[in-house]
Chain A
Amino acid sequence: MTYDHAAQQGGPLHTHTCPWCGLVTDGTRLSCPACGATIDVESIVTNSGWTELPGRRDMAKLQFGNSFCQIEGTYVPVADFHLAHGDGVYFAHHVLLWKDPDVAVTAMSLKGAWKRLFAGLPLIMTQAMGPGHVAFSQDAAGEVIALPLQPGQGVDVREHIFMVATLNVTYDWFSTGIWFNTRSGDETETHYPLGQFMDRFYAPQTPGLLLLHAAGNVFVRQIAQGQTILVKPTALLFKDPSVQMQLHFEHPAGSTRSWRSWGERYLWLRLFGPGRVAVQSAYAHLHDNGRNITRHSNATRQQW
């Protein structure tokens, strides 16, 4: 929490800079109008440097353009959008909770349909146009993350985390480049611990709003230039595009078995700064078939 005090004619001017999204407000509000973060509560930072997602009051409102979004509930929060005329949002269709009958829902075409089809990504993105109400929620207990994007700002999001974004945020996707092959006899299998693709959201010219849903609790950390950290691949939520990734294998010393066989190795995702990374506390179990790794993307290896 940051309060800026400046003496001006006749008395001090109190402003508040939201530590989550950087918006400067007059300090009279209880929550940030851009991201909904509670501003009268101190940020919670662990001893290791992870910051908890800022608390958000139930029914907190996020303003964007002429529209607003209200975050309702605490266990499985609902993002309830009140879209003004001309404003719109896009979303994966399975997150739609309810809508006014008059709100038009149409499909938004995406490039690379074949690749998306084979990668298990949604083929179509759905968009809703104002005026009217439309609401979204995901299917796991967790937190809604509001990421206001400033012009020129982008963020990379792991697949299936995205919930909804305003239409002035562009959507693209890219190959993660994180993979390894296992072989059993003549059968070779390719694994993508992070998913084959990641979503990239970018606000080119005007500010936009991106909402994600995380399972469990969310922790964010800023990694300095040259700093590196290891995370469970399925726990990664989002990262700045400047953060680089690669695989990392660890295995104990003194084992008679090869590190390449599962049970004798630990699989991590190594993240390199500079930039911001976020993880969720409830993550999917990383499945490994226990077979020998024959090839893999660029990786580091450590023996204990």
Chain B
Amino acid sequence: MKHCPTCQRTFDDEKVFCGSDGTRLVADAPTAYADEPSAPPSSWPSTPAEPTNAWPASPASPRPAPRDEQPRAAESSRAAAPPAHAGPLERIRCDWCQAMNEGTALSCRACGAPLDIKNLISESGWREAPRIKDMTEIHFGASTCQVEGEIVPVAEINLAPGDSVFFEHHVMLWKDDRTPMGVMPLQGGIKRALAGMPFIISLAYGPGRIAFSRDATGELVVMPLHPGVELDVREHAFLLASHHISYSYVRIKGLRNILFGGQGMFMDRFVTGSEPGLLLLHGYGNVFERFLQPGESIIVEPGAFLYKDATVTMNVETQKLTTGFFGGTGMNLARMTGPGRVGIQSMYVHHHTD
């Protein structure tokens, strides 16, 4: 039998993830690595000697603290404190992606977030995306990603045989001569071309190395997606995704949202099925995330929007500004309404008002 370390429900041995919260199940047998699944997914993670990744809760039970609680959370470490009794089963839960790590780890093996640095959460409830230390290694499937540099970080992928990543071709920085490449078949090519979205999504297969970066100062946002997650991302903001993630796009609803929302007509949508995957975004400037409770709203500059859970709705509102004879102008802002995560970038393209 196996049990879920989060909700403690028990499951049959053939199950890998908890059906209610998505956490990786652990075997009941009390061996040194008893929490290692007996049948790990083919592509996620790791050698048996390495620690297990436990996956975050489902969108219905989100991981970030509610807004009112977050300032207090700023005083805590980014990782939950390990238990007082140190032992071979000691684990640290990453506060960013909820993966479980060895007690001695300095950075999360699933998302690279430093485990020895406090969370940076503003009084208003925005959490800074973890600043990944130079040369940090991230594991996905049998492959690794090393984050290099800090001002315009590079994601260098060492693809294992059988693994692959997809990306927009303009973010490719370099690759090994023999790293195989391909093209991902996409639906709605004409629509995408007309909407200014990438017509071709490229694929790189293992074995081989390939590296990616974007064209401005910013942060790499590492988002391990647990099974069953749907994430909407501003177009052209994604750097790469592992092959475990399915890629599509959603048309933004409403003419006002299209014309004044600053997103264009489409957003990228990344969906995980039964397996977790790795998604890397590049945010311009600094990146902040906030969790909105059901019905809670926040007004953001449309150009600053970076990503959101599919459960978050986005609608453009016009703020009219008048000062008599000269003041016939307005400000278009996006109202994001929870539940779910919202990510913004601090350097953005300002979209002209009407």
Contacts and interface: CB of A to CB of B under 8 A. Distances in A.
B151 interface: yes
Nearest to B121: A59
B347 A123 contact: no
Contact of B286 (A72, A82, A100): A72
A108 B324 CA distance: 11
Interface in B85-121: 120-121
Interface string A78-120: 1010100000000001101111110001111110010001000
Interface in B188-220: 216-219
A62 to B, nearest CB: 12
A61 B139 CA distance: 37
A107 B285 CA distance: 28
B298 interface: yes
B235 interface: no
A77 B347 CA distance: 9
Contacts of A75: 151, 217-219, 285-286, 346-347
A74 interface: yes
Interface string A120-162: 0001101000000101011111000000000000000000000
Contacts of A77: 286, 346
Interface residues of A, number: 40
B301 to A, nearest CB: 5
B134 to A, nearest CB: 15
Given A59-B120, A126-B321, A109 B347 contact: no
Contacts of A137: 285, 304, 346-348
Contact of A139 (B121, B325, B350, B353): B350
Interface stretch (B22-30, B122-130, B161-169): B122-130
Contacts of A109: 323-324, 327
B346 A97 contact: yes
Given A70-B123, A105-B331, A78 B346 contact: yes
A287 to B, nearest CB: 22
B291 interface: no
Nearest to A114: B326
Contact of A72 (B219, B284, B288, B299): B288
A44 to B, nearest CB: 19
26 contacts: A72-B122, A73-B286, A75-B217, A75-B285, A75-B347, A76-B346, A78-B346, A80-B122, A80-B123, A80-B124, A96-B331, A97-B300, A97-B301, A97-B348, A105-B331, A107-B323, A124-B321, A126-B331, A133-B124, A137-B304, A137-B348, A139-B347, A139-B348, A139-B349, A140-B347, A141-B217
Interface of A: 58-59, 61, 68, 70, 72-78, 80, 82, 93-94, 96-101, 105-110, 113, 117, 123-124, 126, 133, 135, 137-141
